[in-house]
């Protein structure tokens, strides 16, 4: 879902609601309307705002649940008809629950891959601890702190997946922020301090921290002293503590990956870019102006950077212009669907590949045809169907990624072999948008990663990466 379209949709919707229900907004939810208005007048003015994953997450959450909570709150009854009519007109275009949960999972993925502190994310910062000090990994041009309800939603998504490692961290921040508001209620919120305490207590219990579970449950009883379930939990926790003796202090540990042995390797490559190729140490690695002996490139050679010989990986600079990028995005937008992977003889979605993709077919006169021709000139390969696949456009969204994988088919039952076009021998990847942090392509066994490169002078010029098919990982962005 295009974030710039969501921003425009909310702006139109807010104006409509103000016109239809001015009294409601003035006397009941002035703070919510002021917050939304300020965001649209300041934060969403340029593309820099949407580059921040926290800004994108809060926008999706507000459109999915906060407006819904305001519209259907008891306090909105006096203006119910006008308010709900305005909301229902726009509802089909608004983010769905799947979008909101996906955005929350994206934040947790960024947290893991880049070792980010949840406490800093809640303040709108992207920091990790290095040598005992908090270090900025990414400093967005615009920043936004998260609310107690924002953190509660992320924690709840983890909680419902029985992912208590993440739920503890996000719910801890939620409780801290809710406490800071002294229990002040906002109509747009889905969660409360009591909800956060309840979920956090059970999360601590599931991770073995019974003493914290007991303390939080006792705090919850101050707000709901007759809650029978919580009273039973308190009794159970007290018995467990007596039987177990002094608590162990093991702390919260991230679960090990049972299916992905290279997790630590790819996360290190995403964070540090690994041992990058040293051109001055290896004379066989070089930069040059490349023509591939093609007459069409003699007067305008391409800047080539040879990154690796084994595996063979080359970076071509200034491959695509900003106008061409926008043309490709416009063509792909209507066809973007959740990306799939091979599952035996069929294809299915998978948590290890989070993105949306679209396949583009084009004539020789279209932008797709021009890019195909340019790729052929550089590589000497015939990329037209059926010798090459159609151009695939991928949007990784908030925290999207593709865990270590082979680009070529490795199973005899793969649907690729039914096409009778042979297996993949190389990948030519074009970066369509720059990112301020993340988004690298990691070569797991070669121990290096390639970041998105942009020339900072107009027009926007992005690179493309050509590599032979080995195990790679597309880092979360």
Residues 63, 70: Cα–Cα separation, whole Å: 11
**Residue 196 contacts residue 156 (beta carbons within 8 Å):** no
296-322 tens-digit pLDDT: 999 999 999 988 888 888 889 889 988
pLDDT at 26: 44
pLDDT at 266: 83
pLDDT at 455: 46
Higher per-residue pLDDT: 424 or 241: 241
Rounded mean pLDDT, 434-450: 82
Q: Across-strand partners of 428? A: 466
Which pTM does this prediction carry?
0.78
Residue 298: Cβ within 10 Å count: 9
Distances (CA, A) of 442 to 253, 262, 402, 452: 26, 11, 10, 11
Residues 467, 149: Cα–Cα separation, whole Å: 44
Q: Is the pLDDT of residue 127 over 90?
A: yes
Residue 22 tokens, joined = 């001015």
Q: Tell me which DSSP letter residue 335 carries.
A: G
**Closest CA relative to residue 252, chosen from 316, 145, 163:** 163
Q: What is the mean pLDDT of the chain?
A: 80
171-197 tens-digit pLDDT: 999 999 999 987 677 778 889 999 999
101-121 tens-digit pLDDT: 888 999 999 999 899 999 999
Confidence band of 78 (pLDDT split at 50, 70, 90):
low
Q: Is the pLDDT of residue 230 over 90?
A: yes
φ/ψ (deg, to 5) at 247: -65, 150
Q: Is the pLDDT of residue 23 over 60?
A: no
């Amino acid at each position: 879902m295009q974030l710039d379209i969501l921003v425009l949709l909310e702006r139109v919707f807010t104006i409509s609601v103000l016109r239809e229900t001015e009294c409601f907004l003035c006397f009941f939810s002035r703070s919510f309307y002021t917050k939304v208005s300020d965001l649209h007048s300041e934060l969403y003015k340029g593309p820099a705002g949407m580059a921040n994953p926290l800004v994108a997450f809060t926008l999706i959450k507000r459109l999915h649940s906060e407006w819904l909570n305001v519209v259907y709150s008891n306090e909105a009854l006096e203006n119910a008809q006008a308010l709900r009519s305005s909301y229902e007109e726009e509802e089909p275009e608004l983010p769905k629950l799947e979008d909101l949960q996906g955005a929350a999972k994206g934040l947790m993925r960024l947290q893991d891959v880049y070792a980010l502190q949840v406490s800093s994310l809640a303040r709108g910062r992207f920091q990790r601890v290095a040598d005992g000090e908090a270090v900025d990994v990414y400093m967005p041009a615009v920043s936004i702190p998260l609310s107690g309800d924002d953190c509660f939603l992320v924690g709840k998504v983890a909680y419902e997946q029985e992912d208590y490692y993440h739920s503890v961290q996000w719910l801890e921040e939620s409780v801290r922020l809710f406490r800071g508001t002294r229990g002040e209620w906002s109509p747009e919120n889905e969660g409360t301090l009591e909800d956060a305490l309840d979920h956090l207590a059970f999360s601590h219990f599931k991770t073995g921290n019974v003493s914290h579970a007991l303390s939080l449950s006792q705090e919850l009883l101050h707000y709901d002293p007759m809650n029978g379930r919580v009273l039973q939990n308190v009794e159970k926790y007290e018995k467990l503590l007596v039987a177990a003796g002094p608590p162990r202090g093991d702390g919260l540990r991230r679960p090990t990956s049972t299916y992905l042995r290279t997790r630590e390797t790819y996360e290190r490559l995403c964070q540090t870019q690994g041992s990058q190729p040293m051109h001055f140490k290896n004379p066989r690695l070089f930069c040059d102006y490349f023509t591939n002996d093609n007459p069409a490139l003699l007067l305008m050679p391409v800047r080539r950077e040879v990154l690796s010989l084994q595996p063979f990986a080359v970076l071509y600079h200034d491959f695509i212009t900003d106008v061409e990028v926008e043309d490709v995005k416009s063509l792909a937008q209507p066809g973007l669907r959740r990306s799939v992977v091979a599952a035996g003889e069929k294809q299915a979605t998978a948590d290890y590949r989070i993105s949306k993709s679209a396949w583009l077919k084009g004539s020789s006169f279209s932008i797709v045809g021009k890019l195909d021709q340019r790729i052929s000139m550089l590589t000497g390969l015939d990329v037209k169907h059926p010798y090459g696949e159609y151009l695939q456009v991928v949007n990784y969204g908030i925290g999207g990624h593709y865990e270590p994988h082979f680009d070529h088919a490795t199973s005899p039952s793969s649907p690729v072999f039914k096409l009778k076009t042979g297996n993949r021998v190389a990948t030519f990847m074009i970066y369509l948008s720059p990112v301020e942090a993340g988004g690298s392509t990691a070569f797991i066994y070669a121990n290096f990663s390639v970041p998105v490169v942009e020339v900072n002078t107009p027009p926007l010029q992005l690179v493309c990466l050509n590599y032979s098919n080995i195990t790679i990982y597309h880092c979360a962005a």
